[in-house]
Every structure is written in C-alpha cells, then in structure tokens.
Homo-oligomer: A and B are copies of this chain.
Amino acid sequence: MAINTSLRIGLFGFGVVGEGLYKALQQTPTLQATIVKICIKNKEKKRNAPADLFTLEKDDILNDTSINVVVEVIDDTAAAFTIVKTALLNGKAVVSASKKMIAENLPELLQLQLQTQLPFLYEASACASIPVIRNLEEYFDNDLLHSIKGIINGSTNFILTKMFEEKLSFTDALLLAQQLGFAESNPTLDVEGFDAANKWSILLAHAYGIVIHPNKLLFNGIQNIQSADALVAKDKGYEIKLVASAKKLSNGKVAAYVLPQFVSSQNPLSFVRNEYNGAVIESSFADKQFFYGKGAGSFPTASAVLSDIGALRYSYRYEYKKLYHQTPHTLDNNFYVRTYISFENLQHIPKEKLEWVEEWHSAEGRSYIVAVLHVKHLAESNWWREKNVSLILHEDAIIENIDIVTVKKKSLELAGL
C-alpha cells in the first residue's frame, strides 16, 4: 500500500463514533484522508452525510482496490472481526475501535499482521483519547516497566465518583450515569468489569508482551460495592476506584488483575473523577508518568481513530516489541493480596482461606474485615463476587512473601475467628 499518498478510507459504522469521525475528518484537512464509502446496516435511518457515500454491502469497501484504509467502528464483534480480517488480507491498512473483538481475537490478529505486514492500529480501543497504547509501544521497554495501573472504564468511575462524592447508592448512581449517557441501558459489560478486562487484555500485550484472553484474567466490577464501603474508605483516607493493575514481581513475572481498589489522595488515579480515564506508568527511566483524559464518547474515540489515521501517513505499525523482540513476560498468581471485605453474613466468608486478618469491624447489618488472601484462591473461587460480599484491594495490595503459618494462627486468634 502506498501509504504516503492520500488515504482513501472505507468506514464501517456510522453510529456516534462513526459520525464523530466523519465530522472530525472534515475539520482536519492536513490528514489528507477522505472517507469514500461508509458501510451501514440500516439504510432507512436518517444520516448526516451525503446519501451516495453509504452502502449496505461490505464488499463495496473490502473489494474496492482504490480504498487503502478500512476504519471499523461497529458494535457487532463477530462482524468486526470478519471485516478486519478480510481488509488485511485484501491489502488494506486497518484502524479499529472494537476492544472486545480485539481482546478476544488477539492471537489471530497478531498472526494476520505478521502474515500481511500491514498496519492494524487500535488506539481507540483502550482509554479512547489517551494515547496509552502508542506510548507503551514507544516508550517503555519490557524490562524497565515496573507497573501500569489504570482507570480504564468511564462508566464505573462515574458511578463510584457519585457514590463517593454525593453519597448516592450504587443503583441511583448507575441510573444517573445512564441518564447522562455514561452507561449503556444494559450496563453489565461495564459494571461487572468485562469492558475493563477487554481493555486490560489489549494493554497487557503492549505493556508486557502478555497475550491473554480476557476471560482468563482475574477481574471484577463494582456491582457489589456498597455506600457503607465508600464511608469506610473515606474514614481511612481513601477513595474506591476500579483499577486495572499490572506489576512486575520480584520473580520477574507479572501480577495482573482488574479489581476495585482503595486509592489515596497521593495517587494520581485519585485525580481521575467521573467519566475520565487515567493511567499511571512506572518505569526505571521515566519514573512515574500519568496520562489522563476522556476514555469514552464519540469525539474522544474519534480523536484516537484520527491519530491512528495520521500515523498511517508514515506507515506506522505496532512492533509489539515486548512480544517479538524480547522474551515476553508471563502472568503469575503466586502472591497474596491485602483486601477489605465487607459482608452481611460471616457465613459467606470462607475463614479458612484467610491467611491473616488485620482488622475486624462488626456492626449490625454489615461488617467488614481487612484480611490477606492468596490471589490463587480469588482466581479459583467465587464467594467474593456473590451473596452481597464486597471485596476491595488495598492500595499496595500485593504481598509476595509471608511467613504464613505463624502469622495466620496468631492473627486468626487475635481476630476472634
């Protein structure tokens, strides 16, 4: 593909992001990029673009040799994958915003890039306007990246902010998010952490060369967090955020998960309020860096797509340096985490699985403990997502080594358990 000539784009999808992109491109003539065809599902809908741009036939784009770039911003995961695959095989560069599709098909998408040697860019798929994928690709070498922690789902962050700052219940905060367009009418994907897990799976590939299907990641959402938890957090000087976390352990492997977490005011993530996203990256050379911006919405997403289109002008491709040019890291679950667990009924807590209890607060209706658990147990059990139990990690939750036997015995005694 002669990419330094002008970019002729075939666009799939004309929803909020697609239309945002169409408008944005009209205002950025320097990109020398033109949308020449738009493929949609429903021809009946009124569209704010000339009628002759639209088609219902995906092959009108995929088989058009004059189109050198396919941009795909549709909702249907299976269809998106077919489009991306065919476009690459037909010699077109591809820009995509479909995080679920990318996360679930990453191995095959990597293979397609190797095979075709064509650019497949997807900055919009994680944190929208924040250029986190590109920066991870370009700035942080594998061995030097200590950790990356991010608030990567705007809906849940909006809900938590309202629960925390305005003392709304989870249900009321969710309703408000839906009214303002920050949460879907079916909010499960966001609220229960699936969306964050998809994004985290993508970012782990660029951060550490780890390719993992999102359903193999340890994750949870915020569906069980109670107003009472927000009060306890505040008393302790924390906020609660849904934090995606990856950290190099002393054995060289990586601990990664997406879980609710206490965040202190010293942590840059505490600055991330409402629908915003943010990521803190710690590395040997650059030290601590923080990227903050809008993680969703038509224009922030379109801005990331635009930047990918811009990068095509100099034939930019992800190198997946951490995957191909080094021995990629592997995930590990040989560590403990310090957790806050609130519950209605002590019966729902498997006491024998607690390595250590630091704090025990009993109250009518709802109690909590602060306890240390092996992360493997979390990965293999479900009680902490069920039965109205709320599990929240401490800020620096990871404990790599403890003298378990002594500590456990003593602390369980102390706690009266």
A positions within 8 Å CB-CB of B: 20, 24, 27-31, 129-131, 134-135, 138-139, 141-144, 268, 271, 278, 283-294, 297, 299-300, 302-304, 306-307, 310-311, 313-317, 319, 321, 325-326
* The one of B27, B285, B287, B293 that contacts A141, using a Cβ cutoff of 8 Å: B27
Knowing that A24-B284, A139-B303 are A-B contacts, what are 10 other residue pairs whose CB atoms are under 8 Å apart, sorted by A's residue number?
A131-B135, A134-B138, A141-B306, A268-B271, A286-B293, A286-B303, A288-B293, A289-B291, A292-B292, A314-B314
Given contacts A139-B307, A142-B30, A314-B316, contact A299 B287 (CB under 8 A): yes
Q: Is the CB of A286 within 8 A of B138?
A: no
* 7 nearest A-B pairs in the assembled complex, by CB-CB distance: A285-B303, A289-B293, A129-B286, A290-B292, A30-B325, A286-B303, A285-B299
User: Could you tell me the distance between the alpha carbons of A287 and B129 in the complex, rounded to whole angstroms?
Assistant: 8
CB distance B303 to A294 under 8 Å?
A: no
Given known pairs A286-B293, A290-B290, the reply for A28 and B300 (CB within 8 Å) is no
Chain B residue with minimal CB distance to A144? B27
Among the listed B31, B131, B303, which residue makes an inter-chain contact with A283, where contact means beta carbons less than 8 Å apart? B303
B30, B268, B289, B313: which contacts A130 (Cβ < 8 A)? Answer: B289
A24 CB contact (under 8 Å) in B28, B130, B285? B285
Q: Name the distance in Å between A341's Cβ and chain B's nearest Cβ.
A: 31
Across-interface contacts of A144 in B (CB, < 8 A): 27-28
Complex interface: chain B residues within 8 A of A268 (CB): 271, 292
Pick the contact of A30 from B27, B135, B139, B321 — CB < 8 Å? B321
Cβ of A310 to closest chain B Cβ, rounded Å: 6
Q: How many angstroms between the C-alpha atoms of A263 and B141 in the bound complex?
A: 35
A133 to chain B, nearest CB (A): 13
Name the residue of chain B whose CB is nearest to the CB of A326: B30
Check if B292 sits within 8 Å of A289, measured CB to CB.
yes
- Residues of B near A294 (CB, < 8 A) are 286-289
Chain B residues within an 8 Å CB radius of A304: 286
CB nearest neighbor in B for A310: B138
Nearest CB of B to A312, in Å: 11
State which of B29, B31, B284 has its C-beta within 8 Å of the C-beta of A27: B284
A129 near B30 with CB under 8 A, answer no
**Distance A9 CA – B31 CA, assembled complex (angstroms):** 32
Residues in B with CB closer than 8 Å to A310 are 138-139
Checking B29, B285, B293 against A129 with a beta-carbon cut-off of 8 angstroms, the contacting residue is B285
A316 proximity list for chain B (CB < 8 A): 314, 316
Which B residues are in CB contact (< 8 Å) with A319? 313
With a 10 A CB-CB cut-off, give which of A24, A129, A278 has the most chain B CB atoms: A129
Contact A139 to B131, CB < 8 A, known contacts A290-B293, A291-B290: yes
Q: B302 and A285: CB pair below 8 A?
A: yes
Measured CB to CB, the closest approach of chain B to A191, in angstroms, equals: 23
Give Cα distance in the complex from A29 to B284, angstroms: 15
Complex Cα distance A134/B291, Å?
14
- Residues of B near A314 (CB, < 8 A) are 314-317
Q: A247: shortest Cβ distance to chain B, in Å? A: 18
- Give the docked Cα–Cα distance between A315 and B142 (Å): 22
- Report the minimal beta-carbon distance from A260 to chain B, rounded to whole angstroms: 22
